[in-house]
Structure 1
C-alpha cells in the first residue's frame, strides 16, 4: 500500500443503519456484502473478545472481495489481562492465525491497552520485544503518559505505528512520522455516539493525503460512524 488512504468502520452489523445506509429490505446476513461495496477495509474487533481461529478468518477472507483489507484487534487476554506478560506463545499464535486465515487481506494488527496501563520504560520494552516486527503493528494507548518522546522514538526505530486517536480523555494528534497513519475515531464528546463535523473531517483529509493511512470510525453506536465514513470517503474522491 503506497500513499493510499483506506476508510472503514469498526463495526458493520448495525440494524439502526437500515434505511440510512443499508436498504430497508436488506437481510442482516447480507450487511457485510453491502458494506464491502462501499468500503475497502474493515477493523475486525471480534478477535478482542474471543481468540480467533484460522477457520474464522478463512471465512472472512472468502466473504471479502479482492483487494479488501482487514485490520485485526488483538485479544484482550494479551492486552488487558496479561498485559504483555508471559504471553509470547499466545501472541505468536495470534499472528499465525491472522496471517494464515487472512493472507494478503491482512492489513494492520492492532494492540489496544487499557486506561489503567501507564507508561514505564520497562513496559515499553516489554511491548516491543513481544511484537513480531514483520507485521504492520499498531499500538493504541488509553493513558496520556504514553504520549512522550521516548515511546515515539522507540516505535519509529522498530517500525511500529503509534495509533492516532480521537477520544474524550486523550490528546487528539494525527501522527504522521510513523510507518503509516492509523486513526481510530471513537466519538467526541460522547464516546461511540458523537458525530464529527465536516470541518473535522476535512482536517483529517488534509492530514492524511500524502501518506498511507488507515482511518476507522468507531462511533458506531449511532448512525454517526457510517455517515462520517461516507462523508470522508466522498471528500477523498
Structure 2
C-alpha cells in the first residue's frame, strides 16, 4: 500500500497519523493474531486525532482455537492487554467466528454472558487475567464507558431465530458481512449500533466497489442510522427488537488485496458527507505535514 494510499516520502512511523486523518475509524486487526501491549495501545491513542474511533478485533485464540470453551481467562487477558488506554476512542469489539464453527445455543450464550458492556465491568474481568500478563497489562480506566460487541458468523447454522434472540437479549450486534456470497449475509438489527464489514462485492477480499454499489451501501447506512430497515433487508427473523431508533453505524472495508479498501472507504465517507474535516488525502503528502 505504500506509495499508493500512503504517499511517497511518508515515514513508516507516521502511517497511523496519516491514515487516521484520511478516514475517521480503523479496525485493529493485529489483536486478532496476538495480544497487543499497553505501550502500543497508548501510541495508537496518541497518534490519532480527537473524535477518531478504533474497533478492535478480538483474539482468534478465543473464537478459532478454544472455540468458546474455557475462555474466561483468555478474554480477561485480552481486556488486560491495554484496551483501556484507548479511552473514548475505543469503539466496538469484533468477535469473528470461523466457517467451521456451528451454532450451539448453550455454548454461545455462555460466551455472550461473559461479555462486559462497560469498561468498569471489563476492568473487573481483566483483573482475573493470568499471571503471565504481569508486567504487560494495564488494569486501570479513566472513567466508566460503554463497551460494545459485534459478532461475525460464517456458518449457515447461525441462520436461526434463536441466534438472533440471543444477540438481542445480550445487546450484541450481528455483523452485516458482504462476502461475495461465500458466507451467510443477514441484516437483522440486534443492538443499538450496526457493524458492517465489506470484504468484496464480486470477489472475496480483492474486488473494489463500484459507484453503484457504494451508493447502495450509502442508502442502507442512512436508513439504519435513522432507525429504519431497507425494504429488501435480508433477515433471519422478521420481528424487531425495539421501536425504530437512531443507530450508530460502523463500516469497514476489508477488500485490501488490490489496495481498494481505503479508497472505497473515503468515497463512502464523501457520499455520506462525512469527509469534511479530514486533514489527509489518500496518496498525497502536503508539504510540511507529518514531518
Query: For the superposition of Structure 1 and Structure 2, which TM-score range results when normalised by the shorter chain?
Result: 0.7 to 0.9
> Given that residues 138 and 162 in structure 1 are in contact (C-alpha distance below 8 angstroms), is that contact kept between their aligned partners in structure 2?
yes
Moved more, 77-86 or 21-30: 21-30
Superposed CA offset, 1:12-37 (max 9, x none):
xx22xx24x33233233322211111
* TM-score, reference length from structure 1: 0.87
Which residue of structure 1 aligns with residue 288 of structure 2?
none
Cα separation, 1, equivalents of 2:190 and 2:167: 10
The question of 1:165 aligning with 2:177 is answered yes
Which residue of structure 2 aligns with residue 11 of structure 1?
none
Which residue of structure 1 aligns with residue 158 of structure 2?
146
Question: Where do residues 129-144 of structure 1 align in structure 2 (5 Å cutoff)?
Answer: 129-134=113-118, 135-144=147-156
Cα separation, 2, equivalents of 1:137 and 1:161: 6
| Uncovered stretches (5+) of structure 2, i.e. residues with no partner | 119-146, 227-246, 274-291
| Uncovered stretches (5+) of structure 1, i.e. residues with no partner | 1-13
Q: 1:173 to 1:87 in 2, by over 3 A?
A: closer
> Given that residues 164 and 172 in structure 1 are in contact (C-alpha distance below 8 angstroms), is that contact kept between their aligned partners in structure 2?
yes
User: Which of these two proteins has the greater Rg computed from alpha carbons?
Assistant: 2
Using CA pairs below 8 Å that are at least 6 residues apart, which structure has the higher relative contact order? 1
Question: SS in structure 1 opposite 2:166?
Answer: helix
Question: Where do residues 6-25 of structure 1 align in structure 2 (5 Å cutoff)?
Answer: 14-15=1-2, 18-19=3-4, 21-25=5-9
> Given that residues 199 and 253 in structure 2 are in contact (C-alpha distance below 8 angstroms), is that contact kept between their aligned partners in structure 1?
yes
Which residue of structure 2 aligns with residue 226 of structure 1?
262
* TM-score, reference length from structure 2: 0.71
Which residue of structure 2 aligns with residue 198 of structure 1?
211
Question: Where do residues 207-218 of structure 1 align in structure 2 (5 Å cutoff)?
Answer: 207-209=220-222, 210=226, 211-218=247-254
Q: CA deviation at 1:221?
A: 1.5
Q: 1:40 to 1:184 in 2, by over 3 A?
A: same
Which residue of structure 2 aligns with residue 7 of structure 1?
none
1:55 to 35, 39, 47: 39
Q: CA deviation at 1:98?
A: 4.6
Question: SS in structure 2 opposite 1:128?
Answer: helix
Moved more, 68-77 or 194-203: 194-203
1:33 to 17, 20, 36: 17
Cα separation, 2, equivalents of 1:27 and 1:174: 40
Cα separation, 2, equivalents of 1:167 and 1:127: 25
1:89 to 54, 73, 85: 73
Question: SS in structure 2 opposite 1:205?
Answer: helix
1:189 to 185, 197, 202: 202
Which residue of structure 2 aligns with residue 4 of structure 1?
none
Cα separation, 1, equivalents of 2:214 and 2:32: 27
Cα separation, 1, equivalents of 2:211 and 2:159: 27
RMSD over aligned CA atoms reads 1.7
Structure 1 segments, 4+ long, off by >4 Å, are none
> Given that residues 155 and 184 in structure 2 are in contact (C-alpha distance below 8 angstroms), is that contact kept between their aligned partners in structure 1?
no
Moved more, 110-119 or 128-137: 128-137
